[in-house]
Amino acid sequence: MNELIIPLIIKYSYVAIFPIAVIEGPVIALVAGFLVSLGYLSFIPAYIVLVIADVTGDIIYYYIGHFGNKNKFSKKYSQRFPKVLNNFSLMDNLWKKHERKTILLSKLSYGLCIPFLMSAGISNVPIRKYIVYVTLIDIIKFGIIMAVGYFLGYSFQKAESYILYFGIATAIILIIFVIIYILYSKKYAVEEIIKIENIEK
């Protein structure tokens, strides 16, 4: 993949970065950092383009969820995480009560990022707050990844596997977080039912 991307970015510069980064931001950030070290790109313009491109992608996913069909969403993504992505009321509660944690873990998770960002649109998370959160995360994320690509130089490709492992680890953390939330919600619901029964007695 990098064999195709690098010549493309060298030839078309920031114009090539934007559309690719909308789809695959972290990998392009590594490549961009590497090309900055070689003098083909300037750090600040590349960094700004990467952040804007990734935020643009996140906004697209949000609106796909917001205006999309819930049944189609369930059919496409529920196999990945059926306990949540097939339970819209649970998703709504998760976004309302834990917006920041959910969006942070979603943005950093491998394989779960897109469906969870789409679920933000389904759950009607306020778009302004959503944009602020994803922008802040991307500002930090791409600064770090570009720096890694810059300092690793020709060894930057080794970092791709580390980014993948980090994404998988974050996805596992997200799953554990949601499972704990589900168990806590059930426990709380049972306690409320018991309280109501005791009052009625």
Spatial distance between the Cα atoms of 195 and 189, rounded to a whole number of angstroms? 10
The one-letter code for the residue type at 41 is L
Q: According to the model, what pLDDT value does residue 199 have?
A: 52
Burial of 41 from C-beta contacts in 10 A (0-12 / 13-18 / 19+): buried
Share of the chain above pLDDT 70, in %: 78
Residues 50, 146: contact at Cβ < 8 Å? Answer: yes
Reduce the secondary structure of the chain to three states and give it as a string. Answer: CHHHHHHHHHHHCHHHHHHHHHHCHHHHHHHHHHHHHHCCCCHHHHHHHHHHHHHHHHHHHHHHHHHCCHHHHHHHHCCCCHHHHCCHHHHHHHHHHCHHHHHHHHHHCCCCHHHHHHHHHHCCCCHHHHHHHHHHHHHHHHHHHHHHHHHHHHHCCHHHHHHHHHHHHHHHHHHHHHHHHHHHHHHHHHHHHHHHHHHHC
How far CA 198 is from CA of 3, 189, 192, in Å, comes to 68, 14, 10
List the structure tokens of 65.
């969820």
Q: What is the pLDDT of residues 99-138, one digit of tens each?
A: 888 888 888 887 778 888 998 998 899 999 999 999 999 9
pTM for this predicted structure: 0.78
Q: What is the pLDDT of residues 175-198, one digit of tens each?
A: 787 777 667 665 544 344 444 445
Spatial distance between the Cα atoms of 199 and 91, rounded to a whole number of angstroms? 31
Q: According to the model, what pLDDT value does residue 92 have?
A: 81
Q: Which residue has the higher pLDDT, 132 or 170?
A: 132
The structural domains of the chain, with segments of one domain joined by +, span 2-174
Q: According to the model, what pLDDT value does residue 197 have?
A: 44
Beta carbons within 8 Å of 74's beta carbon, 6+ residues apart:
85, 86
Spatial distance between the Cα atoms of 127 and 149, rounded to a whole number of angstroms? 32
- Within 10 angstroms of residue 99's Cβ, the number of other Cβ atoms is 17
Q: What is the pLDDT of residues 2-45, one digit of tens each?
A: 667 888 888 888 999 999 999 888 888 988 998 999 999 999 99
Q: According to the model, what pLDDT value does residue 189 have?
A: 42
Q: According to the model, what pLDDT value does residue 47 have?
A: 96
Spatial distance between the Cα atoms of 111 and 153, rounded to a whole number of angstroms? 28
Q: Poorest-confidence range of 59-68, 80-89, 128-137?
A: 80-89
- What's the whole-number average pLDDT of the chain? 80
